């Protein structure tokens, strides 16, 4: 009897101890994914990636938008937000950078909230262009002319589709939607907007070409203006990771609990991200990383790990296709170390014999 109660006490002690010791090490995204790595594992891998790539000098800031050329190219921040609302950040996490093309994901999502996926597919499409993100040739060559919602032409067309009585009302709808995905109020970086608005003749040309093919659904220049504003929204790396985590969590913001994006729309959005999220770099990205992601010329990239969370990295220097060099390296490193590649059976826990 005495022995029995000693055993019981020992068992209770072990249970209490493991609960307290393992609490801070709980698995990231564990609520929804049985194979999520532990927080300690993720922290260690993110730290390794940060140290390994912080002095990487590859790439060059975008300069076709004058403001972006002046941003400190050494800025470097990483954030992970999980579907069970854990947050892990490292480096320059307070800096607010322009979201640029990453905005296109959330305008696509907003258009789908209003019209559903099939209408957006019909009006804009979902095919790779095999050309630069701002290509005029793609508009002229492709049967759909718009390509997909992530090249500039398709993104301007998507913005034109979103309904509103005035351009200001449309802009307010877009900003509100992005803010709900980020879990806090986002604002325009006015200098970025002014800098891009003064130099965006190429996008204006694209909008006129879309008009020629009847693939723009509101006033062309007004649509370019709202598009330019959406690209100039400021985000820090944690806000960006939370926007990604909202997608990872079936459209529900894991921090606020709000269902921002209809769950049934999420797979369509992720399909565009894997196919065109890094423009001409998308095939290589799918090959090496295997995660839906989106880049912006501001230096941000967000990658979504469905059911688990999202990782966002900010580092301004870009490669030839317009994707942040360091951000790609960090995400590839973390995804490979933690078995996040969606095309690998290991991502759902299958290990080789």
Residues at the interface with ligand DON (CB under 6 A): 100-101, 133-134, 152, 196, 203, 231, 279, 295-297, 322-323
Q: Which is nearer to ligand DON, 76 or 279 (CB)?
A: 279
Cα dihedral across residues 114, 117, 120, 124: positive or negative: positive
Residue closer to ligand DON, measured from CB, 14 or 208:
208
- Compute the least distance from the CB of residue 224 to ligand DON, in Å: 9
Torsion of CA 170, 174, 179, 181, to 10 degrees: 140
User: Shortest gap between Cβ of 135 and ligand DON (angstroms)?
Assistant: 11
Closest residue to ligand DON, judged by C-beta, is 101
Q: Which is nearer to ligand DON, 153 or 247 (CB)?
A: 153
* Closer CB to ligand DON, 290 or 296, in the complex: 296
Q: Which is nearer to ligand DON, 102 or 218 (CB)?
A: 102
What is the closest distance, in whole angstroms, from the C-beta atom of residue 278 to ligand DON in the complex? 8
Nearest approach, Cβ of residue 98 and ligand DON (Å): 8
Considering the complex, what minimum distance in angstroms separates the CB of residue 273 from ligand DON? Answer: 13
Strands 77-82 and 309-314: antiparallel
Q: Is the dihedral of CA 47, 33, 285, 251 positive or negative?
A: negative
Of 101 and 144, CB closest to ligand DON:
101
Question: In angstroms, rounded to a whole number, what is the distance separating the alpha carbons of residues 238 and 94?
Answer: 8
| 113-141 b/e (C-beta count within 10 Å ≥ 16 → b) | bebebeebbebbbbbbbebbbbbeebbee
Compute how many other C-beta atoms are within 10 angstroms of the C-beta atom of residue 320: 10
Residue 280, C-beta contacts closer than 8 angstroms, at least 6 positions apart: 130, 131, 132, 133, 320, 321
CB of 134 to ligand DON, least distance (A): 5
Provide CB contacts within 8 A for 227, sequence distance 6+: 152, 155, 156, 159, 203
């Amino acid at each position: 009897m005495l022995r029995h109660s000693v055993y019981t006490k020992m068992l209770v002690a072990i249970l209490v101890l493991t609960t307290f010791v393992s609490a801070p090490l709980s698995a990231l995204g564990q609520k929804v994914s049985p194979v999520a790595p532990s927080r300690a594992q993720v922290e260690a891998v993110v730290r390794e990636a940060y140290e390994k790539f912080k002095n990487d000098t590859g790439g060059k800031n975008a300069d076709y938008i004058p403001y972006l050329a002046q941003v400190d190219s050494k800025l470097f921040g990483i954030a992970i937000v999980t579907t069970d609302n854990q947050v892990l950040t490292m480096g320059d996490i307070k800096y607010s950078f322009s979201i640029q093309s990453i905005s296109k994901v959330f305008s696509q999502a907003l258009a789908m909230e209003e019209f559903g996926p099939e209408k957006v597919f019909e009006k804009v499409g979902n095919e790779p262009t095999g050309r630069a993100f701002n290509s005029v040739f793609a508009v002229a060559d492709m049967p759909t002319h718009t390509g997909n919602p992530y090249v500039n032409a398709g993104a301007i067309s998507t913005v034109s589709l979103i309904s509103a009585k005035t351009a200001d009302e449309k802009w307010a709808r877009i900003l509100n939607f992005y803010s709900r995905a980020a879990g806090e109020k986002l604002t325009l970086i006015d200098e970025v907007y002014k800098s891009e608005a003064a130099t965006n003749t190429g996008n204006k040309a694209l909008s006129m070409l879309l008009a020629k093919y009847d693939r723009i659904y509101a006033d062309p220049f007004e649509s370019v203006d709202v598009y330019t504003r959406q690209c100039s929204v400021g985000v820090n790396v944690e806000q960006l990771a939370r926007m990604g985590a909202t997608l990872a969590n079936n459209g529900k913001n894991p921090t606020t609990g709000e269902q921002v994006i209809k769950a049934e729309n999420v797979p369509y959005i992720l399909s565009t991200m894997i196919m065109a999220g890094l423009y001409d770099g998308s095939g290589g990205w799918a090959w090496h990383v295997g995660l839906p992601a989106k880049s912006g010329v501001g230096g941000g990239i967000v990658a979504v790990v469905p059911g688990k969370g999202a990782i966002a990295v900010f580092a301004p220097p870009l490669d030839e296709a317009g994707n942040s060099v360091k951000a790609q390296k960090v995400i590839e490193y973390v995804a490979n170390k933690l078995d996040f590649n969606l095309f690998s059976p290991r991502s759902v826990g299958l290990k080789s014999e």
